[in-house]
Amino acid sequence: MPSRRARGISPIVAAILLILVAIAGAVIVYLWLTGFAGTATATPASMKARITIENVNLTTDNVTLYVRNVGDTTINVSNAAIYIYDHWSGALVTAVTSTGNNCGDMLKPGAICEIYATSSLSGITAGKYYDIKLSVAGIEAYYSGVQAS
């Protein structure tokens, strides 16, 4: 016969303890998931600044790029580098620094800017196709299949 001194936890106290442990576990899981999801879905700064090249005019003497800011931050376009590659071989033909633009060096979100280089472009042949890469403020954009005139 069991002694009267050895007693267990009553079923009501045991149920309350189990409920409290389950709630504490749910709170910990919730905090972990919301902290993880908050950092995993944050937009990197590099994705906030983006440009696209809408059109290109290329001659043997100059290149003009029509660039749109499709990001959500203003971009400084004063020191733009333009790389021109042979469309078929991929070889770099020439690289030039822009000599000007029509947007006052700052390209606002949604705006289009004309960026140009008006010096003689060595290696460009009229009638051939070229690919253009623009590098400005650490952002790059590409435009493929431009025929030089």
Query: Do 131 and 69 share a structural domain?
Result: yes
Which burial class, exposed, middle or buried, applies to 104 when counting CB atoms under 10 A from its CB (0-12, 13-18, 19+)? Answer: exposed
Query: Do 115 and 52 share a structural domain?
Result: yes
Per-residue confidence (pLDDT) for residue 39, from 0 to 100: 62
Per-residue confidence (pLDDT) for residue 9, from 0 to 100: 73
Query: Do 53 and 100 share a structural domain?
Result: yes
Domain residue limits at 17:
8-42
Per-residue confidence (pLDDT) for residue 123, from 0 to 100: 84
Separation of alpha carbons 47 and 105, rounded Å: 21
Q: Has residue 117 been placed in a domain? A: yes
Which of 42-46's residues contact partners 24+ apart within 8 Å by CB, and which partners?
46/138
Supply 130's token pair: 């070229």
Smallest CA-to-CA distance from 85 within 16, 25, 17, 135 is with 135
Q: Has residue 3 been placed in a domain? A: no
Query: Do 74 and 21 share a structural domain?
Result: no
Here the CATH number for the domain that contains residue 71 is: 2.60.40.10
| Residues 6 or more apart in contact with residue 48 via CB below 8 angstroms | 71, 72, 73
Per-residue confidence (pLDDT) for residue 24, from 0 to 100: 94
Per-residue confidence (pLDDT) for residue 41, from 0 to 100: 60
Q: Greatest CA separation found in the chain?
A: 108
Per-residue confidence (pLDDT) for residue 79, from 0 to 100: 85
Per-residue confidence (pLDDT) for residue 3, from 0 to 100: 57
Query: Do 24 and 53 share a structural domain?
Result: no
Separation of alpha carbons 69 and 83, rounded Å: 19
Per-residue confidence (pLDDT) for residue 108, from 0 to 100: 87
Per-residue confidence (pLDDT) for residue 52, from 0 to 100: 87
Q: Is the dihedral of CA 58, 63, 66, 72 positive or negative?
A: positive
Per-residue confidence (pLDDT) for residue 20, from 0 to 100: 95
The mean pLDDT values, 10 residues at a time, for the chain of 149 residues are 64 90 92 71 64 88 88 85 89 85 84 82 87 88 88
| Tally of domains in the chain | 2
Query: Do 110 and 92 share a structural domain?
Result: yes
Per-residue confidence (pLDDT) for residue 4, from 0 to 100: 60
Per-residue confidence (pLDDT) for residue 85, from 0 to 100: 92
Query: Do 93 and 131 share a structural domain?
Result: yes
Q: Has residue 1 been placed in a domain? A: no
Q: Has residue 2 been placed in a domain? A: no
